[in-house]
Amino acid sequence: MRILVSGASGFIGSALLPLLASKDHTVSRLTRARAGTREEEILWNPVARVIDLKKLEGFDAVIHLAGDPIAKGRWTPEKKAAIRDSRVKGTRFLSESLARLERPPRALLCASAIGIYGERGAEILTEESAPGKGFLAETGQEWEKACEPAAAKGIRVVNLRFGVVLSAKGGALQKMLPPFQLGLGGPLGNGEQVMSWITLTDVVGAIHHALVTESLKGPVNITAPNPVTNRVFTKTLGAVLKRPTILPMPAFGVNLIFGEMGRDLLLAGARVEPKRLKATGYRFQYPDLESALQNALRG
C-alpha cells in the first residue's frame, strides 16, 4: 500500500515505520517541519489550515498519530488547550481535507486513547462501553468525532484507543524506570487503579492488523488482554528489574507533584478489554505482563 503517516517521528510512529517498510508498504510522512524537507514528506500546518491537496491524492491509507505530548509538563490551562486543539482541530482539518479528494484513501486510522472511558474502577470496558467524564474523556470524544468528515466520504475510519504503552524508549515506562532501577519504586496511591497496558511491539502490530483488516472500523481498543492493578504492575516490574518496590507514593504526593495530570494519568484506572482485536484474530506477541516488561526493557 501507499501509506501517509503523521506523527512519524513520535514515540509510536518511529516504531511503526520500520514495520510498515518490512511489509513492503511505501510510506510518506505528513509533517510540519520545513527545513530539509525530504521527497517523501508532505507539509501541512493544521493551525493555519494549510495542506497540499494534490499531494494527498492516491494514498491507500492514512495513519494519523500527531498530537501534543500528554504527559509532558503540568496541565496548565494553556497545556490542556494545546492537548485538545492539536488532536481535535488537527484531526478535523485532516479529515475535511481527505474528504475533498477525488481519490481519497480507503482507510483513515486515527490515534485515540482509553482515557475516553474516564475513571471506571473495576468495570470491564469494551468498545461498546459509554464514554466517561473528565478532561481526557471529553477530549477523546471530540477527537473521535473530528473524523466524521472522512467517514461521511466513505473512508473506513478506525479510532485507535491506545492504552499504557510499554517501552524503555518512551512513554510511561521510560519515566518509571529511573526510580525503580534505584530501588525507589512503589505503588501509586492505593495501588488498586487498573492499568490497561500493551507493549510497543503489539501496538505497531495491532495498527498493521487494523490497516489490513477491512472489517475493522470505529473504535478499537489497543490494549493487551490482561490488565492489572498498579500494585501488581509495580511488583512485577520490581521482580523483572530485581529491585525492591517498598516505597509507595501516596495520592497527596502525586497531586502535589503532578497536579491534574497525575490524578488522571497515574491515579485513575480503567479495565479495558481489546474485544475487537481478539474478535478479528489479532495474536498478541506479549499478552502477559512479565514477558511484556522483559521485551520492553530489551528495547
Residues 152-167 have pLDDT tens digits of: 999 999 999 999 999 9
pLDDT tens digits, 208-217: 999 999 999 9
Query: In the prediction, which pLDDT does 156 show?
Result: 98
- Across the range 129-136, mean pLDDT stands at 96
- Phi/psi at 40 (5° precision): -85, 10
Residues in the chain: 299
Grid look-up 516504531 returns 15
Q: What letter does residue 33 receive in the DSSP assignment?
A: -
Q: What letter does residue 24 receive in the DSSP assignment?
A: T
- Contacts of 290-294 with CB under 8 Å at 24 or more apart are 290/236, 290/239, 290/240, 292/166, 292/197, 292/198, 292/199, 292/224, 293/166, 293/173, 293/236, 293/237, 293/240, 294/240
Residue 118, C-alpha cell as written in the block:
474516564
Taking Cα atoms as reference points, which of 251, 246, 249 lies closest to residue 235? 246
The CA distance from 116 to 86, in Å, is 16
Give 259: exposed, middle or buried? Use CB within 10 Å, 0-12, 13-18, 19+.
middle
Q: What letter does residue 59 receive in the DSSP assignment?
A: -
Point out the least confidently predicted range of 17-21, 71-75, 228-232, 240-244. 71-75
The CA distance from 115 to 272, in Å, is 10
Taking Cα atoms as reference points, which of 126, 118, 287 lies closest to residue 198? 287
Sorted by where each starts, the structural domains of the chain and their CATH numbers stand as 2-297 (3.40.50.720)
- Which sign does the torsion angle of CA 222, 47, 38, 104 carry? positive
The CA distance from 248 to 187, in Å, is 5
Taking Cα atoms as reference points, which of 76, 88, 89, 135 lies closest to residue 112? 88
Query: In the prediction, which pLDDT does 34 show?
Result: 63
- Across the range 117-123, mean pLDDT stands at 92
> Where does the pLDDT of residue 261 fall: very low under 50, low under 70, confident under 90, or very high at 90 and above?
confident
The CA distance from 90 to 205, in Å, is 25
In DSSP terms, 31 is beta-bridged to: 43
Q: What letter does residue 130 receive in the DSSP assignment?
A: P
pLDDT tens digits, 18-39: 999 999 999 999 998 665 556 6
Query: In the prediction, which pLDDT does 258 show?
Result: 82
Query: SS3 of 99, please?
Result: helix
Query: SS3 of 191, please?
Result: coil
Looking at the predicted structure, is the pLDDT value of residue 252 above 90?
A: no
Terminal-to-terminal C-alpha distance of the chain: 28
Query: In the prediction, which pLDDT does 71 show?
Result: 83
Mean pLDDT over all residues of the chain?
Answer: 94
